[in-house]
Amino acid sequence: MSKAKAPKRGRGRPPGGSDTLVRAILAATLDQLGRRGYAALSIDEVAGAADVNKTTVYRRWPTKGELVIAAVVACREDQPRFVPTGRLRDDLLALLRAKARSVSTPRQCAISAALSTLDPSVSAALVQELRRRRYTMPRDVVEAAVARGELPADTDTEFLTQLMLAPILYRTLVLRETVPDAIIVQTVDTVLAGAGAGRRRPRAGKASPPPRRPRAPTNPGLLTS
């Protein structure tokens, strides 16, 4: 007597339940984003790679932009949270070294490059969501240093953060080179020296803090990975 064959699972739900299904779709989204770029990203191809029906994807994320935002946020949530030590230079060195390791991988380099080509509305929504979830290192570390007097009160924390990250992103995304540790150390020390870290400015009286200027649009690649 021959054994009955087990029924073949149809496309639409990977084994493991809803969480596994969502993870499969979001992982496939990042893979396709890195390989194809945002403009050529296809929900049909994402569904095929995740072995689900495209209606399963559309039911959760009606647009390509929403799907990419969900994939990037999920990837960010899987990474361990950075715990600051309260020592500005040490924290910045640790953060930039981790950033350099992350974006130096071919996959993450491709994803970061693709994120720089998002539609403006999608890019703004992604940045807003990452900020809402407080994925804003190393800016948070810089703001904490201002609060405790380690940096001047009028420090532009957004600009200082961009100065820190720019050499790393330029070498990895533009030059396609690794980032030597000496470059990271030089970047941190140069920027902190220019910002007046550790030096208190003389004040004639109690000055009001400078008004915050409007935030410039941020490349999502600065906040991810």
Question: Where residue 210 falls among pLDDT bands split at 50, 70, 90?
Answer: very low
Query: Of the candidates 3, 225, 6, which has an alpha carbon nearest to the alpha carbon of residue 116?
Result: 225
Whether the pLDDT of residue 7 is over 80: the answer is no
Whether the pLDDT of residue 80 is over 80: the answer is no
Indicate whether 211 belongs to any domain. Answer: no
Task: Give me the pLDDT at residue 135, please.
Answer: 58
Structure-block tokens of residue 165:
């990250």
Indicate whether 32 belongs to any domain. Answer: yes
**Dist CA 52 CA 49 (whole Å):** 8
Answer for the pair 114, 38: CB distance below 8 angstroms, yes or no.
Answer: yes
pTM for the whole thing? 0.66
The CATH number linked to 47 is 1.10.10.60
Indicate whether 5 belongs to any domain. Answer: no
Structure-block tokens of residue 4:
């009955």
Task: Give me the pLDDT at residue 17, please.
Answer: 52
Q: Are residues 146 and 64 in the same domain?
A: no
Helices 157-169 and 139-147: crossing angle, nearest 10°? 140
Task: Give me the pLDDT at residue 127, please.
Answer: 83
Whether the pLDDT of residue 177 is over 60: the answer is yes
Task: Give me the pLDDT at residue 139, please.
Answer: 86
Exposure string (b/e) for 7-40, b if CB count within 10 Å is 16 or more?
A: eeeeeebbeeeeeebbebbbbbbbbbbbeeebee
Q: Are residues 70 and 110 in the same domain?
A: no
Task: Give me the pLDDT at residue 149, please.
Answer: 93
Task: Give me the pLDDT at residue 211, please.
Answer: 45
Tally Cβ neighbours within 10 Å of residue 108: 20
Q: Are residues 57 and 114 in the same domain?
A: no
Whether the pLDDT of residue 8 is over 80: the answer is no
Burial class (CB within 10 angstroms; exposed 0-12, middle 13-18, buried 19+) of 131:
middle
Answer for the pair 65, 125: CB distance below 8 angstroms, yes or no.
Answer: yes
Q: Which domain holds residue 97?
A: 88-119+135-200
Token look-up 């820190």 returns: 164
23-76 confidence digits (pLDDT tens):
999 999 999 999 999 999 999 999 999 999 999 999 999 999 999 999 998 887
Burial class (CB within 10 angstroms; exposed 0-12, middle 13-18, buried 19+) of 143:
middle
132-149 confidence digits (pLDDT tens):
765 567 888 999 999 999
Indicate whether 28 belongs to any domain. Answer: yes
The CATH number linked to 110 is 1.10.357.10
Q: Are residues 33 and 98 in the same domain?
A: no
SS3 163: helix
Query: What average pLDDT does range 67-91 have in this prediction?
Result: 88
Question: Where residue 116 falls among pLDDT bands split at 50, 70, 90?
Answer: confident
Domain tally, the chain: 2
